[in-house]
Amino acid sequence: MKYKSGFVALVGRPNVGKSTLLNKILGQKIVITSDKPQTTRKRIKGVYTCEEGQIVFVDTPGVHKPKYKLGEYLLDEAKLAVPDADVLLFLVDGTEVAGSGDNWIVKNLFEVDTPIIMVVNKIDRIKTIEERERIIATYRELFKDKAVTTVKISAKTGRNIDTLIKNILKKLPKGPQYYPDDHVTDQNVRAIAEEIIREKILMCTHEEIPHSVAVVIEKYEDKPDIARISASIYVEQDSQKGIIIGNKGQMLKKIGTDARVEIEKDLTEKKVFLELFVKVKKDWRKNEASLKQFGYTSD
């Protein structure tokens, strides 16, 4: 039996379920998720290994029209994942007909010879087969005469994930095992901790706050019985700082508690002391130097 391996880029509009799908495939959470656009801000690798081969998934930020320097960086992250991929997964929302964003992705990112699998997500939310097929047809029209494999899934429930994996392996080239069997992500502990804290902010806040937040681990001290973490939460305005801190510090306390519990459970498996500070860096999303400081640089 030929061992298959290669890189698979997950590309699609915001909120179509790319990160949820990757977490479901790997059987553990390596990418944060929320109902807010631009939750994923960096290319993140997730490694799936089985007897038939190894799939290195590259999760990318949702493709959207950029409004700030940060948005331009997010779009670059998606663009950079495409040329190096052996297979492209075009993830779409099966509850909505194809829109201008989907059309832009096909015309600007998928004009390549790389095999494409169109992954229709959220099929568990469609009431009739007729409705489902009508919606899928609008996405197939985007490719015109180009042959594209279609797989219908539910990233939330795991429906047809096994079918998707089989289709990916069929299209991957013969190759070596790039990572050890127990390797699941390229993210280190500090990076994952930053994302967990940011996820809790996304869950606790609304309006412009989620988009205006960056998290930086300033200090990570790992001892046998405890991990001591000091992190800064950056926002763009003094008013946003007040919202993050909350009345008598209650919002910041909730964010810290929720983040600490998840870091202890899923990351360190030991007691965590988490200290959070809220700082203002005015209009950081528009500033190149600030983006680099927060790690938003495309390699």
pLDDT reported for residue 202: 93
* CA distance linking residue 172 with residue 252, whole number of Å: 46
- Pairing outcome for strands 44-49 and 214-222: unpaired
Q: In the predicted model, is pLDDT for residue 55 greater than 90?
A: yes
* CA distance linking residue 53 with residue 238, whole number of Å: 51
Residue 164 pLDDT level (bands cut at 50, 70, 90): very high
- Pairing outcome for strands 271-280 and 87-93: unpaired
For Cα atoms 259, 265, 269, give the angle at the middle one, nearest 5 degrees: 120
3-state secondary structure of 179: coil
Q: In the predicted model, is pLDDT for residue 299 greater than 70?
A: no
pLDDT reported for residue 58: 94
Cβ–Cβ < 8 Å for 281, 236: yes
Residue 245 pLDDT level (bands cut at 50, 70, 90): very high
pLDDT reported for residue 96: 94
Average pLDDT over residues 205-222: 91
The number of helices, as runs of H, and strands, as runs of E, in the chain is 9, 9
Could you name the CATH architecture of 4-171? 3-Layer(aba) Sandwich (3.40)
**What's the mean per-residue pLDDT of the chain?**
93
Residue 219 pLDDT level (bands cut at 50, 70, 90): very high
pLDDT reported for residue 146: 84
Residue 297 pLDDT level (bands cut at 50, 70, 90): confident
Cβ–Cβ < 8 Å for 91, 18: yes
**Domain parsing of the chain, residue ranges:** 4-171, 189-293
Q: Token digits for 137?
A: 């047809």
Residue 1 pLDDT level (bands cut at 50, 70, 90): low
Class of domain 189-293: alpha beta
Average pLDDT over residues 24-30: 93
- pLDDT tens digits, residue range 269-279? 999 999 999 99
pTM tops 0.75, yes or no: yes
pLDDT reported for residue 92: 96
pLDDT reported for residue 34: 85
Residue 49 pLDDT level (bands cut at 50, 70, 90): very high
* CA distance linking residue 94 with residue 29, whole number of Å: 23
Q: In the predicted model, is pLDDT for residue 47 greater than 70?
A: yes
35, amino acid identity:
D
Q: In the predicted model, is pLDDT for residue 53 greater than 80?
A: yes
> 264 phi and psi, to 5 degrees?
-60, -45
- pLDDT tens digits, residue range 72-108? 998 898 888 898 999 999 999 999 999 999 999 999 8
3-state secondary structure of 90: strand
pLDDT reported for residue 143: 92
Q: In the predicted model, is pLDDT for residue 147 greater than 90?
A: no
Same fold flag, 4-171 and 189-293: no
